[in-house]
């Protein structure tokens, strides 16, 4: 019997790649997407593969969600408001879209007898990444406004006052969300974990690191930094790099993320009732924001990046992944290198601007 999959947010950047990959694999796929105007261009229907069922509706709407889950075996929950946001006025939308939307979905899944969920989570649940000082591992405190204003961007050790040394964060690190978006993603995981315990469900929470690739959104403050730099270069402008450009990140190609989702879907079928497990999804290849801006500029022959020294209080300095659990337990391996992926992304099509035609 052909397995049946619902992908919420399946018209979005990551969701659409999951949909395409699952459809190629032979799944029956249903997409639920609201086509939010702050994410999508104005259009009558999203570009989805022929044979994929599309339900237009918001994940916070119980009727739309009930219709979408009818007859499916497993859910891949990609729908969310993403990014750091513009200001704290975005807080109600983050909480509503991400937390309430997840609760509505889990309720509908329970009513429909669906017991398997893959949840798109994020590295932001960790706050800062893994650090150590001369005395060993230590949790990084929030950076002070005085340091940031003075151009001192490295987190300091509360024990020695010296800059901390960054490392790779693993899934056993405590959650320490430091902005509204991060809080909402941590809450999604906690709601899913509670659902699994109470209903006998099975959850894989995929903590995405910096996802990039063809089809990224453009011209929106909620896009990832790679999309912002690419949009600037496309307009003939220099990428504006905050702080000193030394922020360490793990950039992972969207097609590798889609493959991680398919493996996680299969993993949920093999787990005992009540299971919930988090997996980092990162390449394991550390690069800085400044490096990423430079490779995009070179690939497009555009202006050199400008290091601005600007900062945002909700940003973290270094966050890079250990994806050993995903590799060891699910057999996942990233296929696209940073250099090849960024050169491809530099000239790949992006989504039409949000709200545009």
Which residue numbers are catalytic? 181
List, as one string, the DSSP characters of 297-331: HHHHT-PPPEE-----TT--S-BEE--HHHHHHH-
List, as one string, the DSSP characters of 147-212: HHHTT--SPBPTTT-SBPEEEEE-TTSPP---SHHHHHHHHHHHHHHHHHHHHT-EEEEEEE-EEE
- The residue among 312, 319, 307, 265 whose CA lies nearest residue 131 is 319
- Asked whether the beta carbons of 10 and 16 are under 8 A apart, the reply is yes
What single-letter DSSP state applies at residue 99?
Answer: I
Count Cβ atoms within 10 A of the Cβ of residue 329 and give its class: 0-12 exposed, 13-18 middle, 19 or more buried: middle
Spatial distance between the Cα atoms of 232 and 1, rounded to a whole number of angstroms: 48
- Asked whether the beta carbons of 124 and 209 are under 8 A apart, the reply is no
- Token pair recorded at residue 64: 């739309």
């Amino acid at each position: 019997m052909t397995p049946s999959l619902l992908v919420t947010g399946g018209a979005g950047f990551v969701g659409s790649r999951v949909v395409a990959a699952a459809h190629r694999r032979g799944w029956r796929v249903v997409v639920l997407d609201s086509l939010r105007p702050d994410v999508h261009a104005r259009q009558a229907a999203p570009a989805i593969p022929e044979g994929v069922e599309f339900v237009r509706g918001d994940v916070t709407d119980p009727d739309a969600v009930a219709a979408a889950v009818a007859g499916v075996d497993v859910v891949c929950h990609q729908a969310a408001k993403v990014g750091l946001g513009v200001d704290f006025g975005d807080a109600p939308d983050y909480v509503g879209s991400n937390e309430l939307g997840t609760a509505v979905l889990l309720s509908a899944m329970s009513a429909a007898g669906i017991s398997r969920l893959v949840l798109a989570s994020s590295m932001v649940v960790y706050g800062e990444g893994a650090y150590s000082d001369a005395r060993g591992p230590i949790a990084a405190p929030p950076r002070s406004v005085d340091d940031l204003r003075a151009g001192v961007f490295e987190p300091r050790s509360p024990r020695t006052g010296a800059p901390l040394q960054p490392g790779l964060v693993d899934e056993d690190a405590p959650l320490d969300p430091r902005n509204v978006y991060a809080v909402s993603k941590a809450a999604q995981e906690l709601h899913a974990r509670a659902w699994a315990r109470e209903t006998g469900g099975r959850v894989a929470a995929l903590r995405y690191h910096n996802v990039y690739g063809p089809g990224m959104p453009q011209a929106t403050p909620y896009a990832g930094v790679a999309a912002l730099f690419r949009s600037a270069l496309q307009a003939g402008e220099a990428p504006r790099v905050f702080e000193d450009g030394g922020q360490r990140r793990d950039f992972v190609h969207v097609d590798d993320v889609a493959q991680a989702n398919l493996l996680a879907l299969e993993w949920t079928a093999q787990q005992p009732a009540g299971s919930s497990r988090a997996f980092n999804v990162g390449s394991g290849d550390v690069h800085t924001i400044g490096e990423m801006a430079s490779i995009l500029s070179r690939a497009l022959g555009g202006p050199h990046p400008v290091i601005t020294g600007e900062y945002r209080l909700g940003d973290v300095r270094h966050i890079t992944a250990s994806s050993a659990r995903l590799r060891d337990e699910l057999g996942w391996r990233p296929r696209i290198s940073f250099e090849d992926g960024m050169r491809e992304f530099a000239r790949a099509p992006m989504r039409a601007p949000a709200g545009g035609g």
